[in-house]
Amino acid sequence: MTEAVQARAFWVTGPQRGEIRSEALPPLPADWVRVKTRFSGISRGTESLVLRGEVPPSEYARMRAPFQAGDFPAPVKYGYISVGEVTAGLEALRGRLVYCLYPHQDVYQVPAAAVVPLPAGLPAGRAVLAANLETAINGLWDAAPRVGDRIAVIGAGTLGCLVAWLAARVPGCAVELIDTNPRRARIAPALGVDFRTPDTATADADLVIHASGSPPGLVTALGVAAFEATVLELSWFGAKPVSLPLGEAFHQRRLRLVSSQVGTVATAQRGRWDHRRRLELALSLLAQPASAQLDALVTDECAFEALPDVQARLATAPGETLTQRVRYG
């Protein structure tokens, strides 16, 4: 009899609490693969909301990750950024490095169709940026920047930085990355954009993209928008209420406040693109030589065993962390 494969996974067990639990994997079904994880990444904004128990009950079903175990608020095994090596299963994938929307777990089994092989030239450690880059791609599709636009991106977290990096590659666009933390200015040169704090930001932006996850950041976004500009909201606030000054110049300037969310492919692309093609695009962009500058967004790395403490810290006092990478084995 084949010995059962043992796995370890991070579980949220209650508000601000998590632990690593062991489990036995069942026999590998046909057309499935077993993946030994090299790296996972923490989607800081969403996973912090999950750890704090701030997912609204109305969103329990929509917020489920593809391979989530358990139910909100807890106990729940949650996450969707995993990079590893296929060690068993479909012959064509054995030995390949792959990306999968799987929680933090050291070895796991999924249908072969659920993994996407990394393109040549993409380091496994950089691939943890793919989830946020996919969100940034979807956001730019929703925002539809035009050649020559003045674009303001509010929030210099990982998502905001990736949105700014993409937007700066639209010909003629001038991009400002805006954040309350002046120390984030050091990342702007690698992205090819200018950096401003809210009090020094340039007014009259043609397009404003908000990704700070903070209600005051959205107020700033409305304040820097030009007449008839679009303000695209990429942040997700969970159960947190947001108060906005819609009684001031919002109507006079005829602003458009538009939501964007990665769970659905942007409207303009939906007839031709699916989630897998969009993820493959994100991975291919990360494999390009020019994307090496994005390694600067991976500011912290920890061992898998440290995840309970690291998740608790990021949910309460993230400090200067942009992308937190988790190392296995």
**Residue range 71-124, pLDDT digits in tens:** 999 999 999 999 999 999 999 999 999 999 999 999 999 999 999 999 999 999
Domain ranges, residue 227: 132-269
In a domain, 284, yes or no: no
In a domain, 279, yes or no: no
In a domain, 164, yes or no: yes
Tally Cβ neighbours within 10 Å of residue 185.
Answer: 15
Sign (positive or negative) of CA dihedral 275, 278, 282, 284: positive
In a domain, 126, yes or no: no
> In this structure, are 259 and 191 located in the same domain?
yes
pLDDT tens digits, 50-69: 999 999 999 999 999 999 99
DSSP one-letter string for 51-110: HTT---GGGTTTT--TT-EE-SSSSEE----EEEEEEEE-GGGTT-EEEE---SBSEEEE
Q: How confident is the model at residue 329 (pLDDT cuts 50, 70, 90)?
A: confident
In a domain, 290, yes or no: no
d(C-alpha 14, C-alpha 73), whole Å: 7
d(C-alpha 147, C-alpha 163), whole Å: 16
Average the pLDDT over each of 9-18, 85-94, 242-251 and give the range with the smallest value: 242-251
| pLDDT over 90 at 3, yes or no | no
**pLDDT at res. 4:** 79
The number of domains in the chain is 2
In a domain, 70, yes or no: yes
Distances 168 to 176, 177, 188, 280 between C-alpha atoms, Å: 9, 10, 11, 21
Contact between 40 and 108 under an 8 Å Cβ cutoff? The reply is no
State pTM to two decimals: 0.95
Average the pLDDT over each of 169-173, 237-241, 325-329 and give the range with the smallest value: 237-241
Average the pLDDT over each of 214-223, 237-246, 267-276 and give the range with the smallest value: 237-246
In a domain, 160, yes or no: yes
Contact between 27 and 33 under an 8 Å Cβ cutoff? The reply is no
Compute the chain's Rg from CA coordinates: 20
> In this structure, are 149 and 62 located in the same domain?
no
| pLDDT over 90 at 136, yes or no | yes
